[in-house]
Each structure stands twice: as structure tokens, then as C-alpha cells.
Amino acid sequence: MSDSEARNFQYLAYGLIACWVILVAYVLTLAARGKRLGRQLENVQRMMEDREGK
């Protein structure tokens, strides 16, 4: 394999990796948002219970 062919493959690999990195990064932001929403829901439920208790 010549140098230019190897470089061609190397950049193809960068391209494919970049596609997956972007998708995974987005999925991670969704997961983080999901966790945050879970925490918020718990807080609100606790707040409701406290107010009902009073």
C-alpha cells in the first residue's frame, strides 16, 4: 500500500470515527438530561409530599 493510499484509509477511519463520536455525544447528552429529569421529578414529588404533610 502506497503512502497516499494509507493516508486515504487513515482519513476514512477519522471520518467514520467522527460520525460515531457525534452520535455517541448526542446520546450521552440525552442520558444526562434523562438523569437530571429523574432528579427533578424526585425533588418535586418530595416537595408535594412535604406540602401535603403540612
Q: Which residues bind another protein (CB under 8 A)?
A: 4-5, 7-9, 11-12, 14-16, 18-19, 22-23, 26-27, 30, 33-34, 37, 40-41, 44-45, 47-48, 51-52
Phi first, then psi, for residue 24 (nearest 5°) are: -65, -40
DSSP string, 28-54: HHHHHHHHHHHHHHHHHHHHHHHHHH-
